Structure formats: structure tokens, C-alpha cells
Amino acid sequence: EAQVTQNPRYLITVTGKKLTVTCSQNMNHEYMSWYRQDPGLGLRQIYYSMNVEVTDKGDVPEGYKVSRKEKRNFPLILESPSPNQTSLYFCASSRQGSGYTFGSGTRLTVV
Amino acid sequence: AQTVTQSQPEMSVQEAETVTLSCTYDTSESDYYLFWYKQPPSRQMILVIRQEAYKQQNATENRFSVNFQKAAKSFSLKISDSQLGDAAMYFCAYRSRMNRDDKIIFGKGTRLHILP
């Protein structure tokens, strides 16, 4: 089944404790992207990647890191999480011009 | 910079009726894509429909169709014969066709309620 898999689905962590949210796609898509969703703000793009080893900032990149060492994986790293990073996170992938296929989301709470 | 505006935070429609969700956008580009996504309570983001800006014909997918007005920068979604399963948050999104970057802009969403 063609899908984007992100883990974990839920995560509660403490301020300052490094964490990684994994994302993997099995559709051989060139493009991958991370979004955060907050009430009243819609979805905002954090980082995106147009191919292996190519990443760039979206609209809200502060406090996040990404890497794209392989085509299928695009992990999101929070080096020192803070409470304002409490959010619902989505990973997504696509071919050029097509709509993005989204993962199921990761609900992150930073206390 | 591109912007996407959904002016209706919430809407309600009677089951089996037709409803139209509004979306306007601002861009200086001539070639781009527009999308509508559905997010039901499960929170999964589901692609509903896609429109290429260079195509004049409005996209349709079963009960879902769009009214794409390029000059007016308007991209509304029409849902015909509304069903209870259509209750969700709907997001309009803009994607550039240029290869410079892949910044996707989402509107803030319209929550659609279906009244039985």
C-alpha cells in the first residue's frame, strides 16, 4: 500500500530533551515536507526537500532540523524542544505537481 | 509572497444539499497548482481535488467540483448531495509550479458541518 508512515503517533516530552519524529514513504517521491498544524493557524510548512541531500526552510523552521540522506526518509529533529512546539505534525510526500500524500500525524506535547 | 484566504471559518449544510466553500489566493505567478484537502475528525489529510492553473476546465471528482476563476484568483469547492461523511475541516492550498522551491501555502480552513 502506498503510504507515508510517521512515528510516533503521540509523544509527550519535557523541555530540552532532544527528539526525532521519523517519516518514511514507499512511493519513490522526490518531494517531502513537514508541516505543523495549530488551531486557527492552519498548516504551516516547516521544512521541505526536493530531492536527496536537498532541504530548505519553509515558513516556520526555527527550532527544527531535518535531513534527507535517503529518498524515502525525512526525519524531523527537535534538538531542544520548547512548549511552543506543542502541535500536531504532519509529514507528506509527492511527485512534482501532484498533491501531497500525508502521514497520519504526530501529536507532540512539550511540558 | 503567496497567500491563501478562506473567509468562512465554519459552514453548515443540510444533508443532500449543495454547499460551496470559498477560497481566494494571491500570487504574481502565472503557473501553479491549487488543491482542496479534507481533514475529518480522524485528522488524516485527504486530497479531495487538484486544479492546474493553465487548464481552463474546472476539475471534478464525483460529487466534488471546483469553480476556478484565475483572473479573480478564486478557487471555490462545491460539494453536491452532501453526506454525513463530508463533515470535516477543508483546506485550500497553493503550490507553485516553478522549480525554485516547493513552498506550499494552506488557508486556515473551513469547518463544514452536515445537518441530518
What are the pLDDT digits (tens) for A28-75? 999 999 999 998 888 999 999 999 999 999 999 999 999 999 999 999
| Residue B106 forms contact with A (CB below 8 Å) | yes
Residue A44 to residue B106, Cβ atoms within 8 A: yes
In terms of CA atoms, which chain A residue is nearest residue B33?
Answer: A97
**pLDDT value, residue B101:** 77
What is the band of B58 on the pLDDT scale with cuts at 50, 70, 90? very high
| Residue A96 forms contact with B (CB below 8 Å) | yes
Four-point Cα dihedral A107, A109, A110, B3, nearest 10: 60
Q: Please count the residues of chain B.
A: 116
Residue A42 to residue B35, Cβ atoms within 8 A: no
Residue A42 to residue B108, Cβ atoms within 8 A: yes
Looking at CA atoms only, how far is residue A76 from chain B in angstroms? 17
Grid coordinates representing B80 are 453536491
**pLDDT value, residue B99:** 67
Residue B50 to residue A98, Cβ atoms within 8 A: yes
Cα(A57)–Cα(B52) distance, integer angstroms:
25
Q: Is the dihedral of CA A11, B44, B99, A58 positive or negative?
A: negative
Interface test with B, best of A1, A43, A98 (most B CBs within 10 A): A43
DSSP label of A25: E
- Could you tell me how many CB contacts below 8 A there are between chain A and chain B? 56
* Residues of B with Cβ-Cβ distance to A44 under 8 angstroms: 106
| Stronger pLDDT, A14 or A97, i.e. the higher one | A14
Cα(B31)–Cα(B35) distance, integer angstroms:
14
Interface test with A, best of B7, B45, B66, B98 (most A CBs within 10 A): B45
User: In this model, does residue A92 exceed pLDDT 90?
Assistant: yes
**pLDDT value, residue A74:** 98
Cα(A49)–Cα(A57) distance, integer angstroms:
9
**pLDDT value, residue B115:** 96
**pLDDT value, residue B104:** 85
**pLDDT value, residue A98:** 84
- Dump pLDDT digits (tens) for B1-27: 789 999 999 999 999 999 999 999 999
Residue A42 to residue B33, Cβ atoms within 8 A: no
Q: Comparing A25-29, B32-36, B64-68, B99-103, which segment has the lowest mean pLDDT?
A: B99-103
- Dump pLDDT digits (tens) for B67-116: 999 999 999 999 999 999 999 999 999 998 876 778 789 999 999 999 99
User: In this model, does residue A103 exceed pLDDT 80?
Assistant: yes
